[in-house]
Each structure stands twice: as C-alpha cells, then as structure tokens.
Amino acid sequence: MTKNMGSLDKGIRLALAAVVVILYLTGVISGVWAIILGILAAVFVATSFVGFCPLYAPFKLSTCKKS
C-alpha cells in the first residue's frame, strides 16, 4: 500500500473531522446526519493516519509531493 496523501490533504481531513465532532458535541447535528457525518469523520481520521486513500487508488491520484 503506497502512500498517496500529502500533508495538506491529511490536515484538511483532520480539520473536517474536528468540525464534525464539534458540531455533534454542540448539538448542531443529530440523528441520521450525525451518524453519517460521524462515519465520514472516522474514515477521514483513519485515512489521515495511514496516509492512503482507497478512493484515490483506482484513479491513480496522489497528493504527495514528488521527490
């Protein structure tokens, strides 16, 4: 599994996940939307830590800097 996510991509995903958590904790989102966005936030956190996005692979996309 080759890394295909750059640091900016990881940071944006972690920030979006944090926004979802804050919205949930403040009661702005609830119910089905909270579940859907919570799952999406968990996926964002997981892919950020692993550095690999499975949706990028079939399209051969990469946000990593070329060295």
Domain boundaries, the chain: 10-50
- Residue % of the chain over a pLDDT of 90: 93
Ranges assigned E (strand) in the chain: none
How far is Cα 24 from Cα 40, in angstroms, rounded to an integer?
13
62 in Cβ contact with 8 (< 8 Å): no
Say whether pLDDT at 66 is over 90.
Answer: no
Average pLDDT, the chain: 94
pTM (two decimals): 0.89
For 21-52, what is each residue's pLDDT tens digit? 999 999 999 999 999 999 999 999 999 999 99
Say whether pLDDT at 65 is over 90.
Answer: no
